[in-house]
Each structure stands twice: as C-alpha cells, then as structure tokens.
Amino acid sequence: MSILVFIESAEGAIKKSSLEAVSFAAAMANGSPVVAVAMGSIDSSALAQAGAAGASKVLHIADARLDQGIIQAYATAIAAAMAKEGAKTLVLAKSSLGDPVAARVAIKTNASLVSNVAELPNTNGGFKVKRSIYTGKAFAEVELTAETKILAIKKNAVTLKEDGAPASVEAFSVDFGANDFGMNITSTDKTTGEILLPEAEIVVSGGRGMKGPENWGMLEDLAKALGAATGCSKPVSDIGWRPHHEHVGQTGVKVSPNLYIAVGISGAIQHLAGVNSSKVIVVINKDADAPFFKAADYGIVGDAFEVVPKLTEAIKAAK
C-alpha cells in the first residue's frame, strides 16, 4: 500500500521541506512505494528530483488554476490521489499551506491528523507519533487510531535522502467541483532575498545590539559567507530597522535551521520560542548575563563589531 506525499513548489523547484517529507515517508515505508503529488505549473524534470529523496513516482496535476494554491482545490486533489493509489497515509511538511490543506483532507478522508511531527512513528502495538508542543519546549506522544492517517512533519524531523533514482512522472487529472475554486487570490506579496527563512539551513539574526540599520551590512556579509538567511528580533522589525518578514520569534517566523547565529539579541522568551528547534545555537553578545546564553550551544562574550568581521574573514579563509 502506497504512502502519499504532498509536495509544495516555489519558482519551479520543490521546496526542501517537502523533499524532507518525501524522505520521511521513505523511511517509514518498509518497502511500500512512496508516491508524491504535485500541483500546478512545474517542469517534469524538477518533479523527477523527488526520486532522489525517496519517491518512486510523482502524480502531477498540471491544472493552471492550482498555481494559486487554493486550499479547497488542493484538498480535493490530494484526496483523489489517495483514492487512486489506495494510500492510507499522507505525509506533508508543516507549513502555512500544508496545515489548512491537511485539515481539509482529514475531513474528506475521515483520517487521524497529527501536526508538528518530530520523528518517525512507533508502530509497535499501534501507531504512535511524537510531536513537538509548547513551541518546542516539550513533546507529546499521540496515538492515531483511524485507518487513514495524516502526518504533518516539522523541519529536520528526518535526514534528507539524496541518493535515490529519478522518479517517474505521471499526469493525473481531477474532476473538481464548483466549490473547489470558490475563491480567487487577487495578489501575493512575496518576501525577497536569496535564501528565505523557512527553508534556510543557516540563519544569522541581529538584535538591538547592532545599534542601527546602517550596521546590518556586516551581518549580511557573514550570512553571505555562510550561505545563510538573515533574520532579526521583534524590536528590530518594530522600529523599522529590518523588514517584518525577517522577524524571528513566537509572533514572527519560526525557524529550525541546522545553525542559528544570534548577534546582539538578549534572548527574550518570545524570540527563543521561534528558534529553539534549531540544531545548534551560537550567541554573540557583549553582555555575559544575556539570557540567550542559557539556551546557546556555543557563546561568545564580546563586542559584535569586533567579533563578527573576524568570524566572517575566518570563514572566507577556511573556504
């Protein structure tokens, strides 16, 4: 019996979080085929790359109306794909799109749904899943009892597989109902930047310790040297030093990178709630009593205006 994976795309490429979802499905498949489903206008060669992450086949619903990300239409399409493949398990990345889509698919298929899944399920004597709760401060074990199950996984829940063979791509058509496209997205404002925060493996963030927006260049230099995205604390975005889409924290973007570097950020609990899923946290602050040091894996007590340029040069030299 197949496991179905819903994959999201952006600018013609599969999102890394969705490739992780494919690898998650492959790790729990135990020999069962992993089939991905993709929506809208995306090239077949890009879809075939899902095979490297563990998919054997990709169902492509190339209806141009799906380019807008209409949630109800996506849910109808996924439910149809599950029926076609006889899939009783759906895996997808937890995201602003994945969350509402998963909820609607759960209603359509009478499925058990669990979100923020942190690791592979335990199938010894049932189907139990560990999920992150309280903004990453604790975990809960949830048992899924319905025949159909939907898992929305958090970033870094499993290591991304990259050695699979290219997946076959199969065109798939869906009979949409009149209500599936009962809304239109009239405009979309996208964040800019070479690397976006939700997908970043490394994030460099700055706080009020940077003293002003004119000093952000040294953080951008560090980020460029590391191939990282840039972020900031809430006070920095509130006073207009940086755009709001860079705000990392409980009320901003929650990130789960492999490396999070906080420069001149004190470490308020609201900021920590947005970064505590990071694998490694490095804090640079001249205040040795800054609360952030308690959450850090590594800390540097020093003036950021001296430490960061030296760190950047060392990274460039190491390359």
Q: What is the pLDDT of residue 128?
A: 96
> Where exactly are the structural domains of the chain?
3-171, 197-318
Q: What is the pLDDT of residue 193?
A: 55
Q: What is the pLDDT of residue 4?
A: 97
Question: How far is residue 216's CA from residue 242's CA, in Å, rounded to a whole number?
Answer: 9
Could you give the C-alpha distances from 192 to 11, 155, 256, 262, in angstroms and in order? 12, 21, 19, 21
CATH 3.40.50.1220 fits 197-318, yes or no: yes
Over residues 170-200, the pLDDT tens digits come to 999 999 988 888 877 776 666 555 677 877 8
Q: What is the pLDDT of residue 194?
A: 60
Residues of the chain short of pLDDT 50, as ranges, are: none
Q: What is the pLDDT of residue 130?
A: 94
| CATH number for domain 3-171, candidates 3.30.70.20, 1.10.3720.10, 3.40.50.620, 3.40.50.300 | 3.40.50.620
Cβ distance 40 to 9 under 8 Å? yes
Phi-psi region at 223: left, alpha or beta (left = phi > 0; alpha = psi -120 to 50): alpha
Question: How far is residue 33's CA from residue 227's CA, in Å, rounded to a whole number?
Answer: 34
Non-local (6+) Cβ contacts of 106 within 8 A are 112, 113, 150
Q: What is the pLDDT of residue 265?
A: 97
Q: What is the pLDDT of residue 192?
A: 55
Same fold, 3-171 and 197-318: yes
Could you give the C-alpha distances from 272 to 71, 256, 276, 296, in angstroms and in order? 31, 12, 6, 10
Over residues 107-140, the pLDDT tens digits come to 999 999 999 999 999 999 899 999 988 777 789 9
Q: What is the pLDDT of residue 191?
A: 57
